Structure 1
Amino acid sequence: MTQQNIKANMEVIGADGVHVGTVDHVEGDRIKLKKSESDGFHKGHHHYIELGFVAGVEGSKVRLSANAAIAVTLEEEKSGKPVD
């Protein structure tokens, strides 16, 4: 299963190879991204990506099934609500 292959500090990239974030850890059925990479209004918050959007793990990278521009819109905050 892909979930066991996802480790802290792995790079999360979109299907297009563009950087989305860095794994803090897996929490339940979501990847928690490091908050140091959040910007703008959501700076200092952890964001999450559902494991269902993971296409696979390639070496030290977690590849998502969506391009980075779309993946950023799929990010959630701790509450499970999408980031505006």
Structure 2
Amino acid sequence: MRSAFKAVVTTAVLVPVLFAGAGVAAAGEGPDSGPAYKQKTNSATAAGGATSAVKSGFWGDTAYFLTKNAVATPAGATGTVVGSRS
């Protein structure tokens, strides 16, 4: 069970590495109606993988900020998501 969990988490972390540029959106696309910022970092080695993202902008008249981090190693996996809106 633990091996299956690690495999799923590792896959979830490594898949964005393969498609690193595919999910980058330009400002003004979709519901964003103002200045926007998005930065993503992905890395993978034989010891595990990591990904992080920071995004901010506007959803209609509401400003938002979101940061995500995930790490997977042979010992386990962890992740955090922090967001705010006004």
TM-score norm. by structure 2 comes to 0.27
Higher relative contact order (CA 8 A, sep 6+): 1
Larger Rg belongs to: 2
Q: TM-score, normalised by structure 1?
A: 0.27
Relative to total residues, which structure has the larger strand share, 1 or 2?
2
